[in-house]
Amino acid sequence: MDDLKNSHGYRYLQETKFDDQTLWRQQRLEIEPAEPYKVYSEAKKVKLPTDWKIGRSLNDILQYRRSCRRYADKPLSMQDLAVLLWACQGISGRAGSFFFRTAPSAGALYPVETYLSIQNVETLVPGLYHFQPAEFALGKIHDGFAGYKVADAALGQNFLAKAGVVFIWSAILRRNFSKYGHRGLRYVMMDAGHICQNLLLAAEGLELGACPVAAFYDDEFNRLLGLDGEEESVIYLAAVGAKE
Ligand SMILES: Cc1cc2nc3c(=O)[nH]c(=O)nc-3n(C[C@H](O)[C@H](O)[C@H](O)COP(=O)(O)O)c2cc1C
């Protein structure tokens, strides 16, 4: 018996289709928006360098990018980390007080927040950090090496503990759902895909190894970062390290 039509995913796609007969009659959901980006005002700040450039051609980057799960015991530089963060969520344009980022976002709502498990980056104390795009800085939210907890929470994928850094992306659904309602979930996940792909390409541009990861225990990651798993929940990860 084929249960495709009983799956949540199938029903979600059916129920959130646009069609020109009903689109304009659909009632908009009453969902309050959320702040455009999160700020950890108490967190100790680390400014990121801006003196870097990716020298490799896009042609080579696309040709040679491959998921890499074996990392050398060699720290990433702060420049490397800055490039990676800029590629996934850097501010690349402004319109008044409004910021545009390196990755596109439906309605320019940017519902995805970036956290890092810093594990082997020169001059940075291992710990959990939050990326603050407006200041191009990190806010430290937890001290101490979290690599083994991260690997355990990712179904025991041990290569995550050996990475120099693990990117952990969460979604603040309210930011998007206040405009797009039920259909918004499609867009949030697409946004995350764009962000992750930018990261993977930038990593290859620096000749670093990277791997996207979506197999993880959601609430273990939420607990690790102190997120409630409702207003904000982890949706995607990627590991980056020096290639072996
Ligand atoms: C949404 C998504 C989730 C993934 N999750 C994992 C994962 O949990 N663990 C893993 O080792 N690789 C994961 N991967 C990497 C894929 O296995 C990999 O992209 C695929 O085998 C194709 O290989 P390539 O990336 O080298 O081209 C994921 C990739 C995507 C796009």
Q: Is the CB of 238 under 6 A from ligand 1?
A: no
Question: Ligand 1 center to residue 65 CA distance, Å?
Answer: 12
- In this predicted structure, what is the pLDDT of residue 47? 98
Total-model pTM: 0.97
List 138's β-bridge partners, or say none.
46, 131
Polymer length of the chain: 244
Please provide the average confidence, as pLDDT, over all residues in the chain: 96
Question: Ligand 1 center to residue 116 CA distance, Å?
Answer: 19
Query: 172-175: long-range contacts at Cβ-Cβ below 8 A with a sequence spacing of 24 or more?
Result: 172/34, 172/38, 172/111, 172/112, 172/113, 172/231, 172/232, 173/111, 173/231, 173/233, 174/31, 174/32, 174/33, 174/34, 174/111, 174/231, 175/33, 175/34, 175/36, 175/109, 175/110, 175/111
Q: Is the CB of 215 under 6 A from ligand 1?
A: yes
Domain ranges of the chain: 45-242
Q: Is the CB of 196 under 6 A from ligand 1?
A: no
Residue 2's CB is within 10 A of a number of other CB atoms, namely 5
- In this predicted structure, what is the pLDDT of residue 26? 76
- In this predicted structure, what is the pLDDT of residue 75? 98
Question: Ligand 1 center to residue 213 CA distance, Å?
Answer: 6
Q: State in words which class domain 45-242 has.
A: alpha beta
Question: Ligand 1 center to residue 197 CA distance, Å?
Answer: 11
What letter represents residue 40's amino acid? Y
3 state DSSP class of 103: coil
Which residue's C-alpha comes closest to atom 6 of ligand 1? 213
Q: Tokens 């102190």 correspond to what residue?
A: 226
- In this predicted structure, what is the pLDDT of residue 27? 79
Residues of the chain predicted below pLDDT 50: none
Q: Is the CB of 210 under 6 A from ligand 1?
A: no
pLDDT, tens only, 12-54: 999 999 998 877 777 788 999 999 999 999 999 999 999 999 9
